[in-house]
Structure 1
């Protein structure tokens, strides 16, 4: 199980852009090389067959162009993960979630069943296709949507028709809003619009902690759900509200920064307790009804929400024996208002956290050996890629969307901003293969992380300088390119990037300029990464265990 997500509403972000960001993590003990590509309409399949579930689905004939972060080794399928399409709609798929036995017993996962026996013989059973999953979601949905809400509705319809073999959370955004969808069992789902002044933290655990059924099955302004969710809840006793209680029971009494709009925080509007035949209404807590509260959550999931919110809302009560929120708290809010607007650097930092400033930091001497390895870090060794999807409402449609990309372990890497309205991505990010090579940013960043980890305190200053220099260059690249496209004088001495002066009129010319800007920042990052690798190699080599000097004696 892997991945960590943060969502930032437009009023909570530094520039008014809704921001969707997620670490894609591989399974423990495995590497999963990634690359960033453009999928053109001609390359999008019209009949899609999944590798893991052996499911074939016919697709519409009018796909949009989109970016994706597929596996470099496609033996298990595409796994497109994160991208932005030509309509400037972003999708991140998926955050693996947890559930509970009651939900899975009522609506089991739709798993692939291989054939048994020999065809034509007694007892033969033909193979049965499974449902859709993380391997498929981006390919099946992103090319066909023009708003974030459309993304929820298309994926929801596919889930109801084909089912899924795993629990997942999926984010959609456009220039106005973010929607977050969570699967519930094999065929059911819920989705909530992220309030504009909130950020949301998502470890690998069902997250939504307040849901308005009356809105979902009425005006559907802030909430959406599978068509028979209320019947499913009633028939399977999944409504856990006490009679006469508020919408979320204990959680409602402890929650913070609830939105002022809608019916949030009101009294439950329907029968509580899951009475068979009576459809529930009002506000309830999906995390209690559909999620998990296991011992594993308290070392794997809830600590990640705790450390992210501890950093972004530092004046709340997070530390000490009597703290309101601890790493093992089950009631850490799904979303809240930050203490100030959040930047891209804030997003990158929290998705790199390894419990700095606490006894749980594996690189610190603060805690005991047991404490330093007790909790699952966000900035873990097995990151595959990070995509921060930014759709900027203040820029024209032609160059509105940016996909910020990083590979390998986040504490040691940097972000590369790529315009998405292009026909190709730089080779340094696109040409990853299974062969280890510093010609690929993925492998270069993975090598740096592996070398730096064993000598963290000696090497981290070099990493921090690299991150500051490359991120500054990335921001400069966007600023200069935006200015050139807007008709301002282009070029900026000292950044290593440039933009053509004057207004660019044609669509082809715009894409060419965006591709040139992408190539420029990729080449700058390549140069700085090679320099960093040399420094990290030198420091690590001089600190090898078998080092010896006659002056040592």
Structure 2
């Protein structure tokens, strides 16, 4: 029986340091579940003594001996590890970030030449076996590349790495091959479940890394589809299915329409750029807005009032009810190493939640984030957000004003808290700094949790009244 992940729908945005509002590198990705499914998520710190030395995958059963002296790192794993860790996104003690993975597509010629490896590694494993052992984004690409060469993979994925200077995106090609590109400093990248990298310069090792035999692999298997001999990775390795035009590419179109409005594009085009320059510098709020996207101000908005029913159903939105979590990994080069890394977390459906900033040089996370269960309970922050979304989705217009006020209020408070914490952290070091940041995270999150509980009460009250009035009128 082949190992295949349930249809996934993550969306990735990567931002180079000269394209962000404060000189940060930014890696962001929603983690979405397959149709009709979801996995509860938690946010934890994995300390060196908690990191396995003998790793066993739950899905493929592969056994990997891991190096000694792992680094501490953050992770957003499944609440219950029946199907494995699925750590997804984190930042390690050396301020290197990793996001794994964006499910991508490939074509039959590639998979015939380099079949997927059923006993290989996959999304379940990647963060755990890579992030604790790397000291730069480039090193992350090379470590993952070596693991792909040795063990192979049973699925098609894109993985992002960043440090304060560089952002890299690596795409798996077949069972063992891979290609990675450095995100241009002045640009952003969009990846909506499609293989994204375009033209490749094999002589430019500052901006491209790849499997040792990738050029030979392309030539021997007649994979190059260009007329001029310039390898376009998306054309060479990617898919070109009708489903891409409705499920994938419109999400890249929506993001680029917002960030680069001067460029007119077809939402179903096969040539939407991998990397694009924004018309202004990109903020954390931009990332949140875009990854909450449902084609606002277009006829394709399922919550909109202008499009036909067919238009509203034409494209798959970014912000859907199957989103489990969003991690925005921000590495701030203008801050000291001890508190330059922030992992912004949001749980549940993106149009209805808010972000919480977490310093990652910490010992622990709040219990209501760390101890998420698979049972619905208002004691877990994950489930509070799920409940809000479940109520709000079918009553969007009646509750969205309150939710947007909550989002603006909490994000403003987030930025104020970061400014204050940065100021108070100056001069601290070692355990004193780590303890301070752990306490600060707790205080910031306690405030957001209280605000979110109040929002749940408000949304529940509004929806209950709407339903009561509907039944009182005898409406169907």
TM-score after normalising by structure 1: 0.83
**SS at 1:190 equivalent:** strand
Q: Does the alignment pair 1:293 with 2:300?
A: no
Task: Give secondary structure in 1 for the equivalent of 2:203.
Answer: helix
Match of 1:494 in 2: none
1:537 aligned residue (448, 457, 460): 460
Contact kept in structure 2, 1:412 and 1:448, CA below 8 Å: yes
Q: Secondary structure at the match of 2:209?
A: strand
- Give the direction of change, closer, same or farther, for the CA distance of 1:21–1:551 in structure 2 (3 Å limit): closer
For 1:31 and 1:174, the matched residues in 2 are separated by 30
Q: Map Cα deviations across residues 224-272 of structure 1 (whole Å, 9 max, x no partner).
A: 0001101111110011221xx3xxxxxxxxxxxxxxxxxxxxxxxxxx3
Distance 1:482 1:331, change over 3 A: same
Matched with 1:516 is 439
Residue aligning to 1:369: 309
Q: What's the CA shift string for 1:310-361, capped at 9, x where partnerless?
A: 11112222xxxxxxx2111000000111000000000111111001111111
Structure 1 residue 338 and structure 2 residue 293: aligned?
no
Q: Could you tell me which residue of structure 1 aligns to residue 450 of structure 2?
A: 527
Partner Cα separation in structure 1 for residue 473 and residue 252 of structure 2:
50
**Matched-pair contact (CA < 8 Å) for 1:37–1:69:** yes
SS at match of 2:470: coil
Give the structure 1 partner of residue 5 of structure 2: none
Q: Distance in 1 between matches of 2:266 and 2:473?
A: 51
**Is this contact kept in 1: 2:180–2:208, CA < 8 A?**
yes
- Change over 3 Å in CA distance of 1:78–1:348 after alignment to 2: same
| Contact 1:428-1:526 within 8 A present in 2 as well | no
Describe the SS at the equivalent of 1:214.
Answer: coil
3-state DSSP class of the match of 1:298?
A: helix
2:200 to 191, 195, 211: 211
Q: 2:61 aligns with which of 51, 54, 64?
A: 54
The within-5 A match list for 1:169-188 is 169-188=158-177
Q: What is the DSSP-based 3-state SS (H/G/I as helix, E as strand, rest coil) of the residue aligned with 2:357?
A: strand
Is 1:235 the counterpart of 2:182? The answer is no
Determine the C-alpha separation between the residues in 2 that align with 1:527 and 1:390: 25
Q: How does 1:259-408 map to 2 (within 5 A)?
A: 272=229, 283-317=230-264, 325-408=265-348
Following superposition, the deviation at residue 209 of structure 1 comes to: 1.0
Match of 2:25 in 1: 18
Q: Distance in 1 between matches of 2:471 and 2:217?
A: 69
Unaligned runs of 5+ in 1: 112-129, 246-271, 273-282, 318-324, 487-502
1:428–1:522 CA contact under 8 A, matched in 2:
no
Change (3 A) 1:236 1:15: same
How many residues align structurally? 468
- RMSD, aligned CA: 1.3
Q: Flag the 1:550–1:452 CA change in 2: closer, same or farther, 3 A.
A: closer
- Aligned counterparts of 2:454 and 2:469: Cα–Cα separation in 1: 25
**Displacement after TM superposition at 1:545 (Å):** 6.5
Residues in 1 aligned to 2:417 and 2:69: alpha-carbon distance in whole angstroms: 33
Contact residue 205 and residue 297 of structure 1 kept, 8 A: yes
SS at structure 2 position matched to 1:458: helix
- Aligned equivalents of 1:551 and 1:397: distance in 2? 62
Q: Does residue 135 of the first structure (1) align with residue 82 of the second (2)?
A: no
Give 1:551 deviation, angstroms: 13
Tell whether the 8 Å contact from 2:161 to 2:168 is kept in structure 1 after alignment. yes
Q: Tell me, yes or no, if the aligned pair for 1:190 and 1:224 is still in contact at 8 Å.
A: yes
**Which position in structure 2 is the counterpart of 1:444?**
384
Matched, 1:144 2:133: yes
Deviation at 1:547, TM superposition (A): 3.4
The structure with the largest helix share of the pair is 2
Query: Within 2, Cα distance between the matches of 1:379 and 1:286?
Result: 28
CA shift, 1:406, in A, is 0.3
Structure 2 counterpart of 1:489: none
Task: Report the Cα offset of residue 451 of structure 1.
Answer: 0.3
Contact 2:260 2:276 in 1 (8 A): no
State the distance in 1 between where 2:247 and 2:220 align: 32
Deviation larger for 471-480 or 404-413 = 471-480
SS of residue in 2 equivalent to 1:10: coil
Q: 8 Å contact 2:246–2:268 — kept in the other structure?
A: yes
Deviation of 1:100 (Å): 0.2
State the 4+ residue runs in structure 1 displaced beyond 4 angstroms.
548-552
Q: What is residue 197 of structure 1 aligned with on the other side? A: 186
Equivalent residue of 1:292, what SS? coil
